[in-house]
Structure 1
Amino acid sequence: MSTSKPRPEIEGRRGERNDEQVLEIEDRSEAGYLTSKWSLIGKIMADKILNKNTVKGMIRKGWDEETPKQILQDSPWNVLGALLNLQRWVPDISLYEIDFIRAPFWVQIHGLLLAKTSTQSVIQIGFVLGGVLQVEKPLVQDRLMCSYLRVRVLIDITKPLATGVWVTRKELGNIWIWVFFKYEILQNFYYGCGRISHDQKSCKEAKAVCPYDSTKYLSKF
């Protein structure tokens, strides 16, 4: 009767040691740090497979004279109707540790009371959506430049997009007003479940998003 030695585990889960050797690499490549200034990693958020050559051609044409910093500032980008989620590849992480679950979007805020129109109000509402990256000043020389407010937010795109938020109106008692959101440069989005990166055919979830109504209000009991 023959016996066999169990095969050693070669790969462990991320962050865990296995039975293999563990190395501490002392060398830090200067070239790696210099390269990181020009290194962007992108992931196309779509269920369908896109033509690789077509995607490369569109990217090269669109970014011919832009720097990585400008490319990130101008994001989100869409390729063939799908979101191209871009992240900077910094020196101290591996390719497989880059997180693509969040993406930046400019969001319009509609329906806010004029008395609440301020930078602080925009920031407060922005945190409902995600991490606030940039706020467009609603007032310029005490003049309202637009009928809505804008905030750039880092949004978790694995979750349904928020359609709005209730805001209290203390001066009228227990009344809330509905402030609704509009997302700029939003494509490959299914309104049924409120998620990015797939359409009705590939969606397996129940309806999760209701259409907004700018006249909506609620009495709090």
Structure 2
Amino acid sequence: MATSLEKGKGVIHSDDRRSADSFFWDEGTEEEEARGQLMPIGRIWAQKSIKVKAAIETMIKLWNTLKPIIGNVINAKEKMFVFRFGTMRDKDRVLENQSWHFGKFVWCFNEPTSTGKLTDIPLFHLPLWARVYDLPISGRKNEGNVRKIRVMLGTYINMELRPNPEMDRAIRVLILHDIRIPLKKMIKILMPTGKEVCFDVKYERLPTFCYGYGRLGHGEKDCKEGPYEEDELKFGE
């Protein structure tokens, strides 16, 4: 005889194969939801061994928040952790001032979800300020030009608005970079004359970085694509 599975009551269908091994995960209380909004999940990207607990304690002291923060390790092997902030103001200030480094290794953060495992939350996007140098004076305020530049570099977050950008050496944009792919050291732009010109890109406050392959999270000595000769370090030294 078939029975019904009622949400939250744990009654299992006798004729539903999924129900034989699973049950509905009920949503938490409003208090739990509110606490969850103060709890970003994070990961340290480093090929080397890191003492995650020590890193958490160091960052809590560095942030110097108005109210105490609680930090805990979720997965030591994957260098994953969770923080619980005392106020939304403290949490927003810390996340808005990324990127954060520990031992020159990058930290990536994301919001928790209730749709699966904590260890499945994507933790590979990092806000970075990028500067594009030597651009033509005319066209720096053109929104279409800026949009194309930011699309080439990553997901756009913000742009530094200056009164006279034509007087600056570079334009400055804040992007969300996927650290699984190499950074771009230059971008190619097609000029009105039809000529393709390369423009240098530099990034601010970079953590441990591979000058051979262009990826964050390891140095050229630890790169799987290496070893590199000095003249093979495409991104400098």
Per the normalisation by structure 2, the TM-score is 0.72
Quote the Cα distance in structure 2 between the aligned partners of 1:183 and 1:73: 17
CA distance in 2, matches of 1:79, 1:169: 41
Tell me, what secondary structure is at the counterpart of 2:22? Answer: coil
- Are positions 1:190 and 2:210 aligned together? yes
Over 3 Å counting, the alpha-carbon distance change for 1:75 and 1:145 in structure 2 is farther
One-letter identity of the residue aligned with 1:116:
G
Find 1:95's aligned residue among 118, 140, 146. Answer: 118
For residues 26 and 104 of structure 2, the distance between their equivalents in structure 1, rounded to whole angstroms, comes to: 44
Aligned ranges 1:57-72 → 2 under 5 Å: 57-65=57-65, 67-72=90-95
Partner of residue 138, structure 2: 115
**Cα-to-partner distance string for 1:144-191 (whole Å, 9 max, x where unaligned):** 463211111111111111111111222xx3322211211111021011
Any stretches of 5+ residues in structure 2 without a counterpart? 1-16, 67-89
Partner of 2:178: 156
1:168 aligns to what?
Answer: 190
Task: State the shift of 1:102 in Å.
Answer: 1.7
What amino acid sits opposite 2:155 in the alignment? G
Q: Does the C-alpha gap of structure 1 residues 94 and 76 become closer, same or farther in structure 2, counting only changes over 3 Å?
A: same
Mapping for residues 14-93 of structure 1, pairs under 5 Å = 20-65=20-65, 67-92=90-115
* Shift in alpha-carbon separation, 1:104–1:22, aligned structure 2, 3 A: same
Unaligned runs of 5+ in 1: 1-16, 213-221
Q: What code does the residue aligned with 1:32 have?
A: E
When residues 34 and 146 of structure 1 are mapped into structure 2, their CA distance, relative to the original with a 3 A threshold, is same
Q: Which residue of 2 aligns with 1:129?
A: 153
| Residue pair 1:33, 1:91 contacting (<8 A) in 2 also | no
Indicate the structure whose relative CO is greater, using CA pairs within 8 Å and at least 6 residues apart.
1
2:127 counterpart residue number: 104
> Structure 1's 53 and 152: CA in aligned 2 closer, same or farther, altered over 3 A?
same
Instruction: Give me the identity figure in percent.
Output: 22
RMSD: 2.5
The corresponding residue for 1:179 is 199
